[in-house]
Chains A and B, each alone.
Chain A
């Protein structure tokens, strides 16, 4: 349990998250317009997306299937009948004057995922519902001195809103929950999870309470767009609430905006200003019926889910829990790992991926998909290590070269003449030279200074440019000394 320590004692966090996950689909939820990211403004807008008179929505079945897959993957119940409702409000980037969403009967309900708490204990976070809805367009207020400009490319893109119960009890749990959900969605392919492109967005409902007391008044923090910022926003907001309460104030239920630059939250609108959305079933759309057959089929076609994969990697492949979680966090990485570990030690491959490769990616701030190192390269590298062709040290040199040039390990070895020296006579010759050159050290070693053994190994390695087979060097040195 993670507490906030106030002047009056401990306070608990109570956090619920609403995640908006953009459905991976070529076209929008109710129109045929493209959803591709980064197109020029208003170039991907169907008549419907612009709210033209007389236009009607036609449901994209593919998006429904993605939502069902997502629901199944978080153990939710799929509603055989769900309904699209209109959420009515006026805003310049909402062309219809309403958002088509699912308010009364969502596509999926009552799911859960497991996360690890701050103490490393497994904890169940319940998911209240997943519903499908249209995204709004984008207002741009800084493009013209006199006007706000509207880009409708995003208008009508399918979102899954995934609403958790207030089961999350710390900022880190919130981060874990988002990461877990993201890995699941990426695994089933229903959302690419890119928070920086806005395809995964998060609103956090935060309240605080004294242990054992009733729930406090919550504030909703809107559109926090990275896992790091979710942690920051919750930390700030909870502290703000504690200070307010401890100073005799009270929390107003309101919607707040997180400012990433200052790390603070500020009032966006109070409850009194909240819209009455006048939800009612959209008469332009029929209820969505899904039959058991489709649910069963989509369930059967689900890929191995992250939790199952992690436990398989740990128990069958011998990976550490940490390595398994890092690799499984992203479906792309998991596939990368599976390909790289074909015919070689998965544990060794996992080490290379989670420490060397990820370290390098972080340093250069690039994604795995953008990296020149392919799974085949990692596979070959590990194979060469296992065969004893190269030492761990050489392997690191090769790794750096692969990262820069994208060349295969054996190519690099050939070019740089890096393969291990296994030639006994050649190594003996080097060892003899080292012994001859260091008579004092030899004397000391022989009189009991065992620690000097490392010095001799180092000298041999130095004289062979690090290419000497370390095992063989050990054996030969012991013999000769």
Chain B
């Protein structure tokens, strides 16, 4: 493994600028690493040739002094973002051969800043899943292994490919998307920093929709400052997305070296009493509290009384929106269409969708269709919207006391592939900590903060008020500084 792949984005950019090596060498090193880690199945589509072409242009740009902010940095892009001329599948058979003629705003922003896409990363089908086991293109394997075990673990989901790529050093950073935890949970499972900005910060234009009121793009990197660099490039108002926030995206890099002295950190102590949280998670949480305190933060108690309903609310609202968003995959204009002939229009739809969608997607479409049906709308969808508002209000009250909230990202560490498959509810419980802030549209991150006794990474989640990505990264960096002595590289890398 080339030592170049171990660099941080910040260091690599400086080194190329200082002519220590070329962008081409950096990209080649990552391509080689992607080839060496192919068994992880992190990528659905590799575009190494295009990446190398772009690397040459990057070197020319450095030569001519026209280098952009992220010139030559190899990245992975979750296969949920439409990429012009590059197959975009959303991890589904339905779109297995779909090649968009347009580029999503977020992936365009990243590449316009000079980043080089080396592949489209694997994901749960249509971003529905917490283990990356629902992909039509197969499981992704977590580069981490438990001490003394060779069992394959899940990387988390739905952005499992992005997380696996960055943690196995085949990309320096990756785009992901987070609807109910799809960045934070895999970040936690792979020892990465993952961040989901405020809903509305990143344009959703060109990002294949799962649940429109929750979907938000974000990034994975191996440290907080690298995420600051990527976020500065991808965030921003887009007139093509009506829910995009008309706000200037903030500078973020300086947040990563700013002290948190005097910052008030809120802890929802009542959540600590929740059943099913492992002792390891609890001690990480308590350690993180003390570490931030030692950095000068003030710890305050906050309450999120409606958070216990968040999972239920989420599994009404997200499937409801998904059932409608996925209606367009009907075999009429693009994507999979059944080869059976002699069918009526309705039969063609049923057959195409039966063949094209996987089990989890079908389950959620059924669920969503049910909760929106005229006889159940009031009991489920409308009720869920009311509770969603209460959950968001809890955060508003909490943020009158605190500037950031600290809680775990996940209730457990990465589990074995095939585990939690029997009962979908067990799988849904993975998102218990991440969903409340998603429902409230708040910026949040997962910072690697501890290793389990079995040597697997665990992440702490930080949540700040809407559009306060600055303090999000500021507190994240502070926590990162406290755990510098922990090695968050998977063994063997």
Contact = CB atoms under 8 A, between A and B. Distances in A.
Interface of A: 47, 50-59, 86, 88, 90-92, 95-98, 148, 150, 276-280, 283-286
A88 B349 contact: no
B87 to A, nearest CB: 12
Interface of B: 81-82, 88, 90, 95, 98, 100, 102, 104, 204-209, 211-213, 239-243, 320-321, 323-324, 326-328, 330, 332-334, 345-346, 349, 369, 372-374, 377, 381
A51 B212 contact: no
Given A52-B100, A97-B330, A280-B377, 5 more contacts: A50-B333, A54-B209, A55-B205, A88-B323, A92-B332
Given A50-B333, A54-B209, A56-B241, A280 B345 contact: no
B90 A284 contact: no
A53 to B, nearest CB: 5
A286 B205 CA distance: 15
Contact of A57 (B90, B242, B328): B242
B102 A47 contact: yes
Contacts of A91: 345
Contacts of B241: 56, 58
B328 A58 contact: no
Given A54-B205, A280-B381, A95 B328 contact: yes
Given A280-B381, A283-B212, A283-B321, A54 B207 contact: yes
A52 B373 contact: no
B324 A54 contact: no
A108 B88 CA distance: 41
Contacts of B349: 90
B205 A56 contact: yes
A280 B370 CA distance: 13
Nearest to B375: A276
A383 to B, nearest CB: 55
A278 B369 contact: yes
Contacts of A88: 323-324, 327, 372
Contacts of A98: 324, 327
10 contacts: A53-B328, A54-B208, A56-B204, A58-B241, A97-B324, A276-B373, A278-B374, A280-B320, A283-B321, A286-B243
B242 A58 contact: yes
A167 to B, nearest CB: 27
Nearest to B214: A283
A363 B254 CA distance: 80
A276 B100 CA distance: 32
A152 to B, nearest CB: 9
A56 B212 CA distance: 10
Given A54-B104, A88-B324, A96-B327, A278 B373 contact: yes
A310 to B, nearest CB: 42
A51 B326 CA distance: 10
B321 A97 contact: no
B357 to A, nearest CB: 13
A90 B242 contact: no
Given A53-B208, A278-B372, A283 B328 contact: no
Contacts of A150: 332
